[in-house]
Amino acid sequence: MKKLAIAATISVGLIGLSACSNEDPEVVVETAQGNITKEAFYEELKDTAGEATLQQMVLTTILESKYEIDEDLVEEQFNTYKEQYGDMFEMLLQQQGIASEEAFREQLRMQLLQQEALTEDIEVTEEEIEAQYERMTTEVEASHILVEDETLANELYERVMDGEDFAALAEEYSTDSGSAVEGGSVGYFSRGQMVPAFEETAYNLEIGDISEPVQSDYGYHIIHVTDVRDVEGDVEALEDVRDQLEREIASTKIDDTKAQETFRRLFEEADIDVQIEQFEDIFAFEDIEDVAEDATNGTTDEQTEESTEDTTEE
């Protein structure tokens, strides 16, 4: 099942605490064995998660000052996830360590801010948008053989091309156990339901074609397209989804090196002065690159994370 694809943000609500005077400590938890003060709570949070949280808070502040996010878009994405997971939504939030629906909205908002920063100079052509829209109207039926080893993948490809039965080889060798028992069949899928490398290859094959091994995060796929058909039901008009498609295409073009340069520039321009001695050096360039890596992982993985058992999104 598709994982909740979110930016690598850290909930910052609790870190807005300020230390209280030792003369009048504010108690936040009372127990029969003793009390927890706000000051003690703040110090503990600072020591255990302070550096990463402070970096993320500063990044959020910078991005919010430079970019605007349509709240309707945040709500649209939130509702998409909620509808997709139905009764499992609350459980999935808990599994992800997300405290509430509002906290999830905040993470979606941060993800969109990061995307704005990293894609503002990326060009998306009309041809690319139209090609993605065409995929929205078309479903592909395919089978695949998934293996971890490239040498084995090439060997199996040669055997298939020499006439050996694709389904039999999938059943014997494929590490995708869910499809292997079906001769490698993953059924029909449309745009956004497969990992990018798989989708890109499958949509460029004709019915009956078999691909050379294609690498994804899960290994090497040999893909056999068995049918192509129109999507059942109504499809939104191109003009209604143009902005969405443009954002998605731009996200696929994000370059990790350029992303790091973007975040480095944003931090430099912000003229950051950390006044907590413990964290004076956390915005050194190597730390900035760590934040950028977390941010780009969250953004570029959006809507592409899949189960290792099943390469399709359910």
* pLDDT tens, residue by residue, 21-60: 445 579 989 899 899 999 998 889 888 888 888 888 899 9
Per the structure block, which two tokens stand in for 182? 């079906």
Is pLDDT at 246 greater than 60 in this prediction? yes
Whole-number mean pLDDT of the chain?
83
Binning pLDDT at 50, 70 and 90, where does residue 290 land?
Answer: low
Is pLDDT at 5 greater than 70 in this prediction? no
Whether the CB-CB separation of 38 and 19 falls below 8 Å is answered with yes
Is pLDDT at 19 greater than 80 in this prediction? no
Structural domains of the chain in order of their starting residue, each with its CATH number: 13-123+238-300 (no CATH), 138-229 (3.10.50.40)
Determine what percent of the chain is predicted with pLDDT higher than 70: 83
**pLDDT digits 0-9 by tens, 57-66:** 899 999 999 9
Binning pLDDT at 50, 70 and 90, where does residue 13 land?
Answer: very low
- pLDDT, residue 21, reads 44
Number of other residues whose CB lies within 10 A of the CB of residue 284: 11
Q: Of all helices (H) and strands (E), which one includes residue 103?
A: helix 101-119
**pLDDT digits 0-9 by tens, 157-175:** 999 999 999 999 999 999 9
pTM, whole model, 2 decimals? 0.61
Alpha-carbon gap, residue 167 to 126, rounded angstroms: 39
**pLDDT digits 0-9 by tens, 206-229:** 999 999 999 999 999 999 999 999
- pLDDT, residue 49, reads 85
Alpha-carbon gap, residue 212 to 223, rounded angstroms: 8
DSSP letter at 31? E
- pLDDT, residue 268, reads 87
Whether the CB-CB separation of 141 and 226 falls below 8 Å is answered with yes
Alpha-carbon gap, residue 221 to 254, rounded angstroms: 24
DSSP letter at 63? H
Alpha-carbon gap, residue 208 to 136, rounded angstroms: 21
- pLDDT, residue 169, reads 97
* Position 178, amino acid: G
Q: Phi/psi at 284 (nearest 5 deg)? A: -65, 155
Per the structure block, which two tokens stand in for 216? 């994804």
